[in-house]
Amino acid sequence: MHLATVLAAGTTEQLVQVLLVVVLGAIGCVGFGAAMLLLRVILPGVARSADASLGRMRTGRLLVVGILPLVGSALLARGVELAKVEALETAYLLLVALPLALALLVGAMSGLPHVGARVLREGADPSPLARASIGGLVIGLAMVSWAAPPLGVLVTVLLAGWLLGIGLGGLIREPRPSPTRSGE
């Protein structure tokens, strides 16, 4: 089969459209990483809290802390949808979906640079922008798994659970031992 046959009318347009989607998707993923870096600069206390949760909690615990509320909120969303009550839908959006979305963003503020640093491990210390952008690109590439729907769902749930666990972990404080008196 010749290249001219492959690039027949319509095929070229489809190839250009696919390439455009890939390029715009990559730019969007890198831009998302840069946006998370900007949020780290604007909200350094929140970023430190998320970094601390990423550092002190193991991956398994982060997944459990993130996946349980994620699954619970999905089940609650389905119940709210079946109820078909507008006030209940508004309450769900304000009291459940919005806080979880904000915690997911906080987790992404810490998780994207962490992933980028892991990818760029070799060589000199990469800049914060490189770490965040590469992390965004890697996570965007992971979303290509949606080409195989069961795998895409699994990857999305695990990734969202991990990022949500990082964000919520910033709110969970490890109990500090109570000070004991010297005579006891």
For the segment 35-78, what is each residue's pLDDT rounded down to a tens digit?
999 999 999 998 999 999 888 888 888 999 999 999 999 999 99
Pick the range with the lowest mean pLDDT from 10-24, 25-39, 168-182: 168-182
Longest dimension (CA), the chain: 90
Output DSSP code: residue 67: H
> Which pLDDT band holds residue 171 (cuts at 50, 70, 90)?
confident
Instruction: Say how far apart CA 69 and CA 117 lie, in whole Å.
Output: 28
Segments making up each domain of the chain, as ranges: 25-169
Residue 43 confidence (pLDDT): 92
pLDDT of 13 > 90? The answer is: no
Q: Is the pLDDT of residue 2 over 50?
A: no
Spatial distance between the Cα atoms of 30 and 133, rounded to a whole number of angstroms: 5
Looking at the whole model, is its pTM more than 0.85? no
Mean pLDDT for the stretch of residues 93-122: 91
pLDDT for 145 beyond 90: no
Q: 17 vs 89, which has greater pLDDT?
A: 89
Residues 6+ apart with CB under 8 A from 49: 106, 170, 171
CA distances from 149 to 86, 116, 154, 155, 156 (A): 31, 26, 9, 10, 10
pLDDT band at 148 (very low <50, low <70, confident <90, very high): confident
